Structure 1
């Protein structure tokens, strides 16, 4: 199965991503969903804005997925990330990994989110009650 990579300014569809990694051979599906919270580093957050270098981000996410597949022999992976303005409680990123066994799915999912946050050109601006600031992943 080809991995799914979505970068969108529309709300993310968790159910569609889970369905995309579902398969009769899959014994475990792990989903990581990052949501906008109302605080960060002692500040009250009003909303977030994400910006993305779309072509490069898609390429780098595919590279991360390929490495996860190499390490854990997982075929079913879907990664979606929002950009634009996100309100408190909205999902900014969803990663779904389907595998024959849960351990590999957990490990691959954690690797994907940790690597994505540190290497993919997606930038986050926190808009707080006290001002706004671009922050690193």
Structure 2
């Protein structure tokens, strides 16, 4: 069974260019799906590509990054027929909620002298 590499793309990126780039590196039109929202012009879109080995994963990731991908997700043991938009969206939502985000740098001021001039009586 193949794997699915899914990518969420920027608003300004062109899905037609993504399709052309994928086909230029050897993916067939039956190897990928671009999910578009017809109600919004220039809205973000999601694309999924069926990949079988690490070479294809790297190639698809490279094409994704050239086309302003925001984030990529690899779903193992999933075929393109199983890659329905709602199913992928629910997996992506679950992964995003489980991700631990970096906290901002916190500076802790500690006194090394005991009580100092900041303490008033």
Normalized against structure 1, the TM-score is what? 0.33
Greater C-alpha Rg: 2
Point out the structure with the larger strand share: 1
